[in-house]
Structure 1
Amino acid sequence: MTTPILETRNLSIAFGGLRAVDDVSFSVERNRITTIIGPNGAGKSTLFNLISGALRPRSGHVLIEGVDHTAEPPYRMQAAGLARSFQITNLFFDLPVAENLRLAAQVLEPWSLALRPVSASRKALQRVDELLERFALAEKADYKAGALSHGEQRRLEVAVALACKPKVLLLDEPTQGMSHGDTQDTAALIKSLTRDATVLLIEHDIGLVMNLSDHVIVLHQGQKLAEGPPAEIRNNPAVQAAYLGHV
């Protein structure tokens, strides 16, 4: 049996009396799109924070390729092959698009180049060129990130997360606030990412979730309510009562 690329086992955290994530276990298959859905306050972003090392769980484990990385800091999780984007756009708005990407891709270079000129960072610069082309940002490489449209900023943030060539990419509502056209373009882009990485996604657009996902996990009040293929989740009475009926 193939080892899941990402696995959580009985993951839990509480804030005071609130159990924000309560005994959540699931596994993620390699080079597929797994989407986490649920009402606001269900614990989705908190779960991402536990997986990525931003929060330390009260109990439970996070494994990448069968190796326990529970509570390791984000830089160690990145070294293990995990990267993420955030619900709120998180870029260097006063720096050019290309420089945002270059800073993210610099991790591909050996430490021996740390004090060398940027021009010596050939691997990082090559990665920047690849991502500018792939994410349709080449014409705006010299624009400040803050001058991009909202849709372009969200696209750039996904590119930044992908710059370090992660095995697992966590995307927290990457289409939030986008127009319908930008949403469809981003969905196609996310689908293409599975050539290189496994995608774990938080998304509120149910139509997009059902069309894009290979596997869906439903959270409700911090607990896993259901999981399975999109069609099975859509037809699940408990999911309909707790979430889909209110979308």
Structure 2
Amino acid sequence: MTPILSVQGLSVQFGALKAVNDVSFEARQGAITAVIGPNGAGKSSLFNLISGAIRPTAGSVRFDGVDVTAQPPHRLLASGLSRSFQITNLFFDLSVRENLRLAAQFLEQGRGLLRPVQHSSTALRRVDELLEQFDLGGKAGELAGYLSHGEQRRLEIAVSLASRPRMLLLDEPTQGMSHSDTHETEALIRRLSRDHGLTILLVEHDVELVMNLSDHVVVMHQGQKLAEGRPAEVRANAAVQTAYFGEKT
């Protein structure tokens, strides 16, 4: 399968701290790639480098063959790369439908800025599609702040997909979820990849979920790539076991 994302020698340094040090990997088109590692391993910093939230000290990020290193998030979105956030990032005082409409307005490409909302036909069709796809139709008129935590996380993924990206970056999508919500989110991510051909890169703390869900796993430790490969290979890696559980006695 063709790599759609290529990370080469990516590094960032904050003063004397090397948060990410010379990390390279590729994400294949249509596959689910996960980045895992103990707390402080550099996962979030790596994710922010790829998504344009922070600028790298060294290295490059290529998306679909184009160098997008340090491009701001709005330009990455225009290229077809979207992301969600570790902390739920919604307009809590707006309805579910309006959260989706604001994100889907991107599809209008600036057309009809001074016209009434009802004339944004492309955006409104996309909202209806997402409400159905994410089973949020019954909640469309509710304020986002009144949704359960699991529903809010589901809505945030829907918002991230409103622009029809080709690749989605998910930052700890199951954080704070109940056991049942975690399983629902796992099934949702699998459907997005399998049924819709979406390429997904996720940072996740739930190792079991990652092993069940991912096609490829990258393990971070102390800012560097410790290992990568298929889930079974990573699970059996002695260095990965040591990083998570300590030296065997």
Q: TM-score, normalised by structure 2?
A: 0.96
CA distance in 2, matches of 1:245, 1:37: 16
CA distance in 2, matches of 1:244, 1:98: 44
Unmatched segments (≥5 aa) in structure 1: none
CA distance in 2, matches of 1:106, 1:82: 16
Residue 233 of structure 2: aligned partner:
232
CA distance in 2, matches of 1:224, 1:6: 16
1:130-156 per-position Cα deviation (integer Å, ceiling 9, x unaligned):
111111111000100000000000110
Instruction: Report the 3-state secondary structure (helix = DSSP H, G, I; strand = E; otherwise coil) of the residue aligned with 1:72.
Output: coil
Within 5 Å, which residues of 2 pair with 1:122-161?
Answer: 122-161=121-160
Residue 19 of structure 2: aligned partner:
20
Instruction: Report the 3-state secondary structure (helix = DSSP H, G, I; strand = E; otherwise coil) of the residue aligned with 2:29.
Output: coil
CA distance in 2, matches of 1:70, 1:13: 12
CA distance in 2, matches of 1:244, 1:118: 54
CA distance in 2, matches of 1:42, 1:138: 39
CA distance in 1, matches of 2:38, 2:20: 13
Residue 119 of structure 1: aligned partner:
118
CA distance in 1, matches of 2:5, 2:233: 22
CA distance in 2, matches of 1:41, 1:98: 37
1:62-102 per-position Cα deviation (integer Å, ceiling 9, x unaligned):
10011101111111111111100011000000000011011
Cα pair distance change 1:219/1:146, threshold 3 Å: same
For the Cα contact (< 8 Å) 2:2–2:29, is it kept in 1? Answer: no
Aligned identity (percent) is 66
CA distance in 1, matches of 2:86, 2:76: 19
Q: How many residues align?
A: 245
Q: TM-score, normalised by structure 1?
A: 0.97
User: How far off its partner does 1:196 sit?
Assistant: 3.6
Cα pair distance change 1:205/1:244, threshold 3 Å: farther
For the Cα contact (< 8 Å) 1:3–1:66, is it kept in 2? Answer: no
Within 5 Å, which residues of 2 pair with 1:33-112?
Answer: 33-112=32-111
User: How far off its partner does 1:205 sit?
Assistant: 1.1
Within 5 Å, which residues of 2 pair with 1:214-233?
Answer: 214-233=215-234
User: How far off its partner does 1:204 sit?
Assistant: 1.1
Matched, 1:205 2:228: no
1:107-130 per-position Cα deviation (integer Å, ceiling 9, x unaligned):
101322111111111111111111
For the Cα contact (< 8 Å) 1:13–1:22, is it kept in 2? Answer: yes
Q: CA RMSD in A?
A: 1.2
Runs of 4+ in structure 1 off by over 2 angstroms are: none
Amino acid paired to 2:73: P
Amino acid paired to 2:101: R
Instruction: Report the 3-state secondary structure (helix = DSSP H, G, I; strand = E; otherwise coil) of the residue aligned with 2:34.
Output: strand
User: How far off its partner does 1:243 sit?
Assistant: 1.7
Cα pair distance change 1:244/1:143, threshold 3 Å: farther
